[in-house]
């Protein structure tokens, strides 16, 4: 069988923060790709601001490097389970994977998650043990862990015979040996192993065209762009082709533009053939998983599966007293247009209208998936309000089922008891507990997604920031009845509008934790803190001290209050109860009650108590 020995197609897969984006950077730097004068940023593949700030990859990225006379097409995939749909589709575009594993942490939940997707596609693996220079690194043990994981996931004999390279991507060094002294400032072992171990694509470019879209991009000038692989045949600019839609219908179009990937750029090309990874434009409504074929030979490729959403929130226009003061885009029409635009590129997202005007149900793959969308909106100048995240209940074999997740926790030994207790209260079922040395314990749980909403803040508090928690979707299981895992603490709610004062804050800070600084503008119904008990308290946080003489006034200036707790967007979403909303603007994230009027809210609470 004829192959294209001039290219290799690989995906880089790893758990979050094991260094794959840094490794891609180093491969770019040390290949024959970039001009000598081009300066490359750290983690250049993470182009989105949020990716840069958090050090995570959200969207898969394509690049290609030249090495000797070959082109290596590299796909950098997300490591977080919320973006697992991206990983699965990428696996169909490549012939092999580079599995990057931290030499200290070893295999983690997302290592298992992404590796399973690769093995299911029968891809050829190359294992890279990264961060070998990290204190406490244990490369040989980690290789054993990786082998155990391959066996556990049902790898075949060829996949079990994987080559191993040891690297420090941060320093740009690599070696075939685990001994740190053998590390040299070169990525040659990585390049050579890719060329030798990863199969070259089959060259069937003389057969009828088959191209499949695995990712979407969007451009205001050319509209939707389908990114994918040519599996068979040749495609040229100006060709008339047929799109085989997911619903079984077909649509003809003319290819107006083809782009290839090279270094950090997309370059216009005139033609592509079997084995090439390219971007195609000219189709208005192309979707992920659809096949582009020769009109005279309409044979579709197997449809790509897209992970269904497991979590939903209500997005609405901002209705607080401060609405319209801080954002550029504040109307329902503007928010709806923006959400619909997101659907052009994010195939795991769903947006549905509700019976309330100016309000939509937005469904995604998890808290991180949705919170990143909200963060992007606020940075672009949108104002909106969102509800507490809720899991999506599905019917499986006639039974109501909810999503469950596999949770892996690494924690200092002294906190393991509290973690077991708190996760058991959230209906987590402990499946394994082992000591991993250095005073650390690894705990594995199966827990309902509902119970994990809001747990990460509590977890960080329990472990004083020393614990690491990772969770990934496992399965749908029967709904746990008569259980509501909502927040245990009540809220401190402002009874009026105005600026908060130090004097008023001093009077209420012993009731709980304050969220706002003195001098903050608040409104009636806005949540200004967390009660130390389980009930809500209405508070006057804008009250000023009655000044009777000059000395008293000066004394108030020096009054000391505790440092308020400033919640991030994720912490705010986790804090929400069912009768609360999070108001998000470009300048502020505020928590509020759905019913702002204090009397009205208390009447409703009485009615609720009476009815129950």
Annotated binding site for GTP: 17-22, 130-133
Binding-site annotation: residue ranges: 17-22, 130-133
Say if strands 277-281 and 257-262 run parallel, antiparallel, or are unpaired: antiparallel
Q: How far apart are CA 346 and CA 364, in angstroms?
A: 10
Cβ neighbours of residue 142 closer than 8 Å, sequence gap 6 or more: 101, 102, 103, 104, 106, 107, 129
Say if strands 498-499 and 521-522 run parallel, antiparallel, or are unpaired: antiparallel
* Coil, helix or strand at residue 469: strand
- Give phi and psi for 603, each to the nearest 5: -60, -45
User: Do residues 503 and 559 make contact, with C-beta atoms less than 8 angstroms apart?
Assistant: yes
User: Do residues 258 and 234 make contact, with C-beta atoms less than 8 angstroms apart?
Assistant: no
CA distances in angstroms from 14 to 19, 110, 117, 146, 200, listed in the order given: 8, 7, 12, 12, 23
Cβ neighbours of residue 147 closer than 8 Å, sequence gap 6 or more: 160
User: Do residues 53 and 43 make contact, with C-beta atoms less than 8 angstroms apart?
Assistant: no
CA distances in angstroms from 176 to 85, 106, 160, 166, 446, listed in the order given: 33, 18, 18, 6, 38
User: Do residues 17 and 79 make contact, with C-beta atoms less than 8 angstroms apart?
Assistant: yes
What DSSP string runs through 184-204?
Answer: BS--HHHHHHHHHHSPPPB--
* Coil, helix or strand at residue 122: coil
What residues are paired with 8 via a beta bridge? Answer: 72
């Amino acid at each position: 069988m004829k192959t294209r020995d001039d290219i290799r197609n690989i995906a880089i897969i790893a758990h979050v923060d094991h260094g794959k984006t840094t490794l891609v950077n180093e491969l770019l730097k040390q290949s024959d790709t970039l001009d000598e004068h081009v300066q490359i940023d750290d983690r250049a593949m993470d182009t989105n601001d949020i990716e840069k700030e958090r050090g995570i990859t959200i969207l898969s990225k394509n690049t290609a490097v030249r090495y000797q006379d070959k082109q290596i097409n590299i796909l950098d995939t997300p490591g977080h389970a919320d973006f697992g749909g991206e990983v699965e589709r990428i696996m169909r575009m490549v012939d092999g994977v580079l599995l990057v594993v931290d030499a200290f942490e070893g295999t983690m939940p997302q290592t298992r998650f992404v590796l399973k997707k690769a093995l299911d596609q029968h891809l050829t693996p190359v294992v890279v043990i990264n961060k070998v220079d990290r204190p406490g690194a244990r490369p040989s043990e980690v290789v054993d862990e990786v082998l155990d994981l391959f066996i556990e996931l049902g790898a075949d004999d060829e996949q079990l015979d994987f080559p191993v390279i040891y690297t420090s991507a941060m320093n740009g060094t690599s070696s075939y040996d685990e001994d740190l002294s053998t590390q040299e400032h070169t990525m040659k072992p990585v390049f050579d192993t890719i060329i030798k171990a990863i199969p070259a694509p089959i060259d069937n470019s003389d057969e009828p065209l088959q191209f499949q879209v695995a990712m979407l991009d969007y451009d205001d000038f050319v509209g939707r762009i389908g990114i994918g692989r040519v599996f068979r045949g040749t495609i040229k600019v100006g060709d008339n082709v047929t799109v085989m839609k997911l619903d079984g219908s077909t649509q003809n179009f003319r290819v107006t533009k083809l782009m290839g990937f090279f270094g950090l750029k997309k370059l216009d090309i005139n033609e592509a053939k079997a084995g090439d990874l390219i971007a195609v434009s000219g189709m208005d409504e192309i979707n992920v998983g659809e096949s582009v074929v020769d009109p005279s030979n309409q044979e579709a490729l197997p449809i790509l599966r897209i992970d269904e959403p497991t979590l939903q929130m209500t997005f609405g226009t901002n209705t607080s007293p401060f609405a319209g003061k801080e954002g550029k885009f504040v109307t329902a029409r503007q928010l709806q247009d923006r959400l619909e635009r997101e659907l052009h590129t994010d195939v795991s997202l769903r947006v549905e209208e509700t019976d309330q005007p100016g309000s939509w149900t937005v469904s995604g793959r998890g808290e991180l998936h949705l919170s990143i969308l909200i963060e992007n909106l606020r940075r672009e100048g949108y104002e909106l309000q969102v509800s507490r995240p809720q899991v999506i209940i599905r019917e499986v074999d006639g039974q109501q089922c909810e999503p469950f997740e596999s949770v892996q926790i690494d924690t200092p030994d002294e906190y393991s008891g509290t973690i077991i207790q708190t996760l058991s209260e959230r209906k987590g079922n402990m499946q394994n507990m082992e000591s991993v040395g250095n005073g650390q314990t690894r705990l594995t749980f199966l827990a309902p997604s509902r119970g994990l909403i809001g747990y990460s803040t509590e977890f960080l508090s329990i472990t004083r920031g020393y614990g690491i928690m990772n969770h990934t979707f496992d399965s749908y299981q029967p709904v746990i009845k008569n259980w509501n895992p909502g927040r245990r603490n009540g809220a401190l709610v402002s009874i009026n509008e105005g600026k908060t004062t130090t004097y008023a804050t001093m009077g209420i800070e012993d009731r709980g934790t304050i969220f706002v600084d003195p001098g903050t503008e608040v409104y009636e119904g806005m949540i200004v803190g967390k009660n130390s008990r389980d009930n809500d308290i209405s508070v006057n946080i804008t009250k000023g001290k009655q000044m009777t003489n000059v000395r008293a006034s000066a004394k108030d200036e020096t009054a000391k209050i505790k440092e308020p707790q400033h919640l991030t967007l994720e912490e705010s979403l986790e804090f929400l109860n069912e009768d609360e909303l999070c108001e998000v603007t470009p300048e502020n994230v505020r928590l509020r009650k759905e019913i702002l009027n204090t009397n009205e809210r208390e009447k409703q609470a009485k009615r609720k108590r009476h009815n129950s």
